[in-house]
Amino acid sequence: MINRAKALQCLDEHLKTDHLLKHSYAVEVVMRALAKKVEPEKEEEWAMAGLLHDLDADLIDYKNGDNHLHGPKTVEILKEVALGNEEIYHAICAHNEATGTKIESKMDRAIYAADPITGFITAITLVYPDKKISSVKVKSITKRMKEIRFAAGADRKAMASIEKLGIAFPEFAELSLNAMQGIAEELGL
């Protein structure tokens, strides 16, 4: 059921946009790091949820108001290929408020916060002269959090909600940054 090779094959079949693939890898490593801290026995499940959470992103017509399908469509695909479990499916739906799926589990809370922070850290990286994630500091992340116009699409409420898991935002920023720095080459950063 938890099979990264099969998950990568599924990503390759359904997700074609390069930045979405990189985002999926980033959310995977952040979710893995969060799981090690919060629920180590579920590390692979959390990582799988992160890796696959946007599997349907290239299939959804957002301009047509189909935002509510983002998540449920992924679950439909995953069930067809027998990949994942109910907790993973729920977390994938819960990461998108438009589905109406309530955040119930620790995994739900983690993916809701992890999804936007990866894009936020990427945006910070890209304003650095060298565009290298190794140059980014935690202080930059916490400072930019207060700059509402910077990366305005990054849901600050979702990122800050990590505190409901007992993790202070600066600690979350550091954990996320370290995780993403660990796969900098794969992320092209």
Residue-level pLDDT at 54: 96
- pTM greater than 0.85: yes
Domain encompassing residue 139: 4-187
Instruction: Return the ∠ at Cα 120 (arms to 31 and 163), rounded to 5°.
Output: 55
Spell out the SS3 assignment of 108-165.
HHHHHHHHHHHHHHHHHHHHCCCCCHHHCCHHHHHHHHCCCCCCCCCCHHHHHHHHHH
Amino acid at 12: D
Q: Which residues of 9-21 are buried (b: 16+ CB within 10 A; e: fewer)?
A: ebbeebbeeeeeb
Q: How do residues 105-156 score in pLDDT, each as one tens digit?
A: 999 999 999 999 999 999 999 999 999 999 999 999 999 999 999 999 999 9
| Distance (Å, whole) CA 180 – CA 189 | 9
Domain count, the chain: 1
| Distance (Å, whole) CA 122 – CA 133 | 8
Residue-level pLDDT at 64: 81
| Distance (Å, whole) CA 81 – CA 15 | 15
Q: How do residues 43-94 score in pLDDT, each as one tens digit?
A: 999 999 999 999 999 998 887 888 899 999 999 999 999 999 999 999 999 9
Computed from CA positions of residues 124, 184, 13, 35, in that sequence, does the dihedral angle turn out positive or negative? negative
Residue-level pLDDT at 63: 77
Q: Name residues whose C-beta falls within 8 Å of residue 25's C-beta, 6 or more positions apart in sequence.
A: 51, 183, 186, 187
**Looking at residue 97, which CATH number applies to its domain?**
1.10.3210
User: Any idea which residue has 């850290």 for tokens?
Assistant: 121
179 falls in which pLDDT band (50, 70, 90)? Answer: very high
Phi then psi for residue 38, to 5 deg, are -105, -45
1 falls in which pLDDT band (50, 70, 90)? Answer: low
Residue-level pLDDT at 61: 81
Computed from CA positions of residues 74, 61, 26, 15, in that sequence, does the dihedral angle turn out positive or negative? positive
